[in-house]
Amino acid sequence: MKRLQLIACRSHPKLARKISRLLKIPLTPLEIKAFADGEIYVRIKKKVRGDDIFLLQSVYTPVNEHFMELLITIDALKRSSAGRINVVCPYFCYSRQDRKTASREPITAKLAANLLTKAGADRLITVDFHADQIQGFYDIPVDHFVGYPQFAKYFANKKYKNPVIVSPDIGGVKKSAKMAELLDVPLVIIDKRRKEHNRAEAVNIIGEVKGKTAIILDDIIDTAGTICAAAKILKEKGAKEIIICATHGLLSGNGYEKLLKCPASLILLLDTIPLNKKKTKKIKIISLAPLFAKIIKRVHREKSLGALFTWENKPVSL
Task: Provide mean pLDDT across the span 231-251.
Answer: 95
Q: What is the pLDDT of residue 130?
A: 87
**Catalytic, out of 18, 178, 192, 258:** 192
CA distance 31 to 17: 16
**137 secondary structure, DSSP code:** G
Angle, alpha carbons 127-65-276 (nearest 5°): 65
pLDDT digits (tens, 9 = 90+) for 151-168: 999 999 888 989 999 999
Mean predicted lDDT score pLDDT of the chain: 92
Residue 309: predicted pLDDT: 75
Closest to 207 (Cα-Cα) out of 251, 241, 163, 247: 163
Q: Is the peptide bond before 62 cis (omega within 30 degrees of 0)?
A: yes
pLDDT of residue 139: 95
Residue 226: the pLDDT is 87
CA distance 66 to 81: 23
The CATH T-level fold of domain 4-145+290-311 is Rossmann fold (3.40.50)
Contact of 214 with 239, CB cutoff 8 Å: yes
Which pLDDT value is given to residue 264? 97
Is 20 within 8 Å of 26 (Cβ atoms)? yes
Is residue 57's pLDDT more than 60?
A: yes
CA-based nearest residue to 98, from 112, 87, 88, 118? 112
Looking at residue 210, its pLDDT comes to 95
DSSP string, 186-226: -EEEEEEEEEETTEEEEEEEES--TTSEEEEEEEEESSSHH
**84-89 and 213-221 beta bridge pairing:** unpaired
- Rounded to the nearest angstrom, the gap between the alpha carbon of residue 251 and the centroid of all alpha carbons in its chain is 13
Asked if 192 is an active-site residue, the reply is yes
- Taking the C-alpha atoms of residue 295 and residue 306, their distance in angstroms, rounded to an integer, is 10
Residue 201, pLDDT > 70, answer no
pLDDT of residue 193: 63
> Residue 229, by phi and psi: left (phi above 0), alpha (psi -120 to 50) or beta?
alpha
> Residue 312's pLDDT band (boundaries 50, 70, 90)?
low
For residue 308, pLDDT over 90 is answered with no
Q: Please determine, for residue 200, whether its predicted confidence score (pLDDT) is greater than 80.
A: no
Return the SS3 of 78.
helix
CATH 3.40.50.2020-classified regions of the chain: 4-145+290-311, 148-286
User: Which CATH number is 148-286 given?
Assistant: 3.40.50.2020
Residue 206 has pLDDT above 60, yes or no: yes
Q: What is the mean pLDDT of residues 90-114?
A: 94
Query: Which residues does residue 34 pair with via DSSP β-bridges, in sequence order?
Result: 40
Q: What pLDDT is recorded for position 185?
A: 96
- In the predicted model, is pLDDT for residue 317 greater than 70? no
pLDDT band at 170 (very low <50, low <70, confident <90, very high): confident
